[in-house]
Amino acid sequence: MHGLQALHGVSYVFISHDLSVVRYMATRIGVMYLGKLVEEGPAEEVYQRPLHPYTRGLIDAVPVAEPGRKGPARVIGDLPSAMNPPSGCRFRTRLSRQFGREQALERSVDLVRNVVTDYLGNA
Protein backbone atom coordinates (compact mmCIF):
# COMPACT_ATOMS: atom_id res chain seq x y z
CA MET A 1 0.00 0.00 0.00
CA HIS A 2 2.92 2.34 0.70
CA GLY A 3 4.25 1.62 -2.80
CA LEU A 4 0.90 2.53 -4.37
CA GLN A 5 0.83 5.75 -2.37
CA ALA A 6 4.26 6.75 -3.63
CA LEU A 7 3.65 5.61 -7.21
CA HIS A 8 0.20 7.16 -7.67
CA GLY A 9 0.12 9.89 -5.02
CA VAL A 10 -3.01 8.46 -3.41
CA SER A 11 -4.29 8.73 0.14
CA TYR A 12 -6.19 6.19 2.21
CA VAL A 13 -8.71 6.30 4.98
CA PHE A 14 -7.63 3.33 7.06
CA ILE A 15 -9.98 2.30 9.87
CA SER A 16 -8.85 -0.07 12.62
CA HIS A 17 -8.85 -0.54 16.39
CA ASP A 18 -5.27 -1.82 16.15
CA LEU A 19 -3.20 1.34 16.50
CA SER A 20 0.04 -0.54 15.85
CA VAL A 21 -1.17 -1.21 12.30
CA VAL A 22 -2.52 2.33 11.93
CA ARG A 23 0.83 3.70 13.15
CA TYR A 24 2.58 1.75 10.40
CA MET A 25 0.13 2.77 7.65
CA ALA A 26 -0.54 6.41 8.47
CA THR A 27 1.28 9.70 8.76
CA ARG A 28 -1.60 11.16 10.80
CA ILE A 29 -4.00 9.41 13.17
CA GLY A 30 -7.49 10.43 14.19
CA VAL A 31 -9.04 8.51 17.08
CA MET A 32 -12.82 8.46 17.34
CA TYR A 33 -15.04 7.33 20.18
CA LEU A 34 -18.82 7.07 19.73
CA GLY A 35 -18.62 9.10 16.52
CA LYS A 36 -16.58 11.99 17.91
CA LEU A 37 -12.94 12.78 17.30
CA VAL A 38 -11.14 12.52 20.65
CA GLU A 39 -7.55 12.82 19.45
CA GLU A 40 -5.76 13.70 16.24
CA GLY A 41 -2.18 14.33 15.24
CA PRO A 42 1.00 12.97 13.66
CA ALA A 43 1.00 9.17 13.91
CA GLU A 44 4.21 8.83 15.91
CA GLU A 45 3.22 11.60 18.35
CA VAL A 46 -0.23 10.15 19.01
CA TYR A 47 1.23 6.68 19.49
CA GLN A 48 4.11 7.76 21.75
CA ARG A 49 2.25 10.43 23.75
CA PRO A 50 -1.50 9.82 23.65
CA LEU A 51 -3.54 12.58 25.28
CA HIS A 52 -6.90 10.87 25.58
CA PRO A 53 -7.50 7.82 27.80
CA TYR A 54 -9.33 5.98 24.99
CA THR A 55 -6.26 6.32 22.77
CA ARG A 56 -4.13 5.02 25.65
CA GLY A 57 -6.54 2.10 26.04
CA LEU A 58 -6.29 1.21 22.35
CA ILE A 59 -2.48 1.30 22.52
CA ASP A 60 -2.43 -0.78 25.71
CA ALA A 61 -4.63 -3.38 23.99
CA VAL A 62 -2.12 -3.97 21.19
CA PRO A 63 -0.94 -7.60 21.50
CA VAL A 64 2.81 -8.05 21.97
CA ALA A 65 4.58 -11.40 21.62
CA GLU A 66 6.74 -11.15 24.71
CA PRO A 67 7.33 -13.99 27.18
CA GLY A 68 5.96 -13.25 30.64
CA ARG A 69 3.91 -10.26 29.53
CA LYS A 70 0.27 -10.20 30.51
CA GLY A 71 -2.41 -10.25 27.85
CA PRO A 72 -3.67 -7.05 26.28
CA ALA A 73 -5.23 -4.50 28.62
CA ARG A 74 -8.95 -3.82 28.36
CA VAL A 75 -10.80 -0.54 28.53
CA ILE A 76 -13.11 -0.89 31.53
CA GLY A 77 -16.08 1.06 32.80
CA ASP A 78 -19.65 1.59 31.72
CA LEU A 79 -20.17 1.62 27.96
CA PRO A 80 -22.47 4.56 27.22
CA SER A 81 -25.38 4.45 24.84
CA ALA A 82 -24.53 5.50 21.30
CA MET A 83 -28.16 6.65 20.93
CA ASN A 84 -28.02 8.83 24.03
CA PRO A 85 -24.33 9.63 24.65
CA PRO A 86 -23.22 11.50 27.77
CA SER A 87 -22.59 15.23 27.57
CA GLY A 88 -19.02 16.47 27.39
CA CYS A 89 -16.43 13.78 26.93
CA ARG A 90 -18.27 10.65 25.80
CA PHE A 91 -15.56 8.50 27.36
CA ARG A 92 -16.03 9.82 30.90
CA THR A 93 -18.29 6.95 31.98
CA ARG A 94 -15.39 4.56 31.37
CA LEU A 95 -12.75 6.43 33.33
CA SER A 96 -11.13 5.10 36.45
CA ARG A 97 -10.91 7.14 39.62
CA GLN A 98 -7.22 7.81 38.97
CA PHE A 99 -8.16 9.81 35.85
CA GLY A 100 -11.06 11.96 36.99
CA ARG A 101 -14.09 12.69 34.87
CA GLU A 102 -13.59 16.45 35.18
CA GLN A 103 -10.07 16.05 33.80
CA ALA A 104 -11.47 14.17 30.80
CA LEU A 105 -13.79 17.07 30.05
CA GLU A 106 -10.89 19.51 30.31
CA ARG A 107 -8.75 17.38 28.00
CA SER A 108 -11.58 17.23 25.44
CA VAL A 109 -11.76 21.02 25.43
CA ASP A 110 -7.97 21.26 25.07
CA LEU A 111 -8.07 18.77 22.18
CA VAL A 112 -10.66 20.83 20.34
CA ARG A 113 -8.49 23.93 20.83
CA ASN A 114 -5.43 22.08 19.50
CA VAL A 115 -7.24 20.74 16.44
CA VAL A 116 -8.65 24.19 15.63
CA THR A 117 -5.25 25.83 16.20
CA ASP A 118 -3.55 23.24 13.96
CA TYR A 119 -6.17 23.73 11.28
CA LEU A 120 -6.05 27.53 11.33
CA GLY A 121 -2.27 27.54 11.61
CA ASN A 122 -1.93 25.30 8.54
CA ALA A 123 -4.63 27.00 6.46
Task: Identify the bridge partners of residue 36 per DSSP, sorted by sequence position.
Answer: 33
Q: What is the domain extent for residue 91? A: 2-122
- Are 19 and 55 in contact, with CB atoms under 8 Å apart? yes
Which residues of the chain form beta strands (DSSP E)?
28-33, 36-42
At residue 77, the pLDDT reads 74
Per-residue pLDDT tens, the chain, 123 aa: give them: 878 888 888 888 888 888 888 888 888 899 998 888 888 899 999 999 888 888 888 988 887 777 776 666 677 777 888 888 887 778 877 776 545 444 554 555 455 545 544 545 544
CATH of the domain at 81: 3.40.50.300
Q: Which residues contact 39 (CB under 8 A, 6 or more apart)?
A: 29, 30, 31, 46, 50, 51, 52, 54, 55, 111
pTM, rounded to two decimals? 0.68
Give CA–CA dist 81/79, Å, rounded. Answer: 7
- Longest Cα separation, the chain: 49
Q: What is the DSSP letter of 32?
A: E
How many domains does the chain divide into? 1
